[in-house]
A and B are shown apart, each in its own frame.
Chain A
Amino acid sequence: AQTVTQSQPEMSVQEAETVTLSCTYDTSESDYYLFWYKQPPSRQMILVIRQEAYKQQNATENRFSVNFQKAAKSFSLKISDSQLGDAAMYFCAYRDPPGGGADGLTFGKGTHLIIQP
């Protein structure tokens, strides 16, 4: 079964600084999808960024970027110029390609990101 590990239960960063959240996963598949979701106190899960495993280029969405290391099965999220609104739980998630596995997302335990003003 696929597993997703987030080794940092909590991270703290100063506003305007850069922070990197770690995620590793385990899979025997060669094609799959990886996501970072943000869950603010409102509990609404919001997609931050996605990465298709067959794409070598790291995904970027404005201040958010990933470092995808397929061989190492690592998928870290970098948040640049941190803002107070970035404070939330961040979940790394994995999904098998269509037709494989459970087709639900497998989530890590999450990292609580605190932004210090």
Chain B
Amino acid sequence: EAGVTQSPTHLIKTRGQQATLRCSPISGHTSVYWYQQALGLGLQFLLWYDEGEERNRGNFPPRFSGRQFPNYSSELNVNALELEDSALYLCASSLKRGGFYLYNEQFFGPGTRLTVL
């Protein structure tokens, strides 16, 4: 069974540009989560999508946005990039069965390293 995949592996942008990161969940998983892992700040919850809808977001400005497609893959968009957006962005997926998230366990992808110059 294929795991969570993310693309690209690395992304280099300049300040003010937009970045688009992509994530494909494990087959059958309907929930996708995005996390930011910045140096010195640890892992922080960004966004949660489930069955095509944004369910919740962490304490991040609106220039962090995304969407989930009918096949449950997801895109994270970061507009007006700032230097402090440089980080590893991790995507995770969860399986829901019978309306409940199985063990509440999240499976992580390898991440996209975003560098803002």
Contacts and interface: CB of A to CB of B under 8 A. Distances in A.
B25 interface: no
Given A102-B56, A102-B58, A109-B42, A50 B103 contact: yes
Given A102-B45, A104-B35, A43 B88 contact: yes
A110 B48 CA distance: 22
Interface string A21-50: 000000000000101010000111111001
Interface in B73-117: 88, 90, 92, 100-101, 103-111
Q: Would you call the interface of chain B mostly helix, strand, loop, or mixed?
A: strand
Interface size class of B (residues with CB under 8 A): 20 to 34
Interface in A75-117: 91, 95, 97-98, 102-110
A51 B88 CA distance: 27
Contacts of B104: 33, 50, 95, 97-98
Contact of A104 (B45, B100, B103): B45
Nearest to B34: A104
A98 B100 CA distance: 7
Contacts of A44: 108-111
A43 B88 CA distance: 9
A35 B92 CA distance: 14
B90 A103 contact: no
Contacts of B43: 91, 105, 107
Contacts of A108: 42
A106 B43 CA distance: 8
Given A43-B88, A45-B90, A98-B101, A106 B45 contact: yes
Nearest to A93: B43
14 contacts: A35-B105, A42-B110, A44-B110, A44-B111, A45-B108, A97-B104, A98-B101, A102-B48, A102-B57, A104-B56, A105-B33, A105-B45, A105-B106, A106-B45
Given A105-B43, A107-B43, A110-B42, 13 more contacts: A33-B104, A42-B110, A43-B110, A43-B111, A44-B110, A45-B92, A50-B103, A98-B100, A102-B45, A102-B56, A103-B48, A104-B58, A108-B42
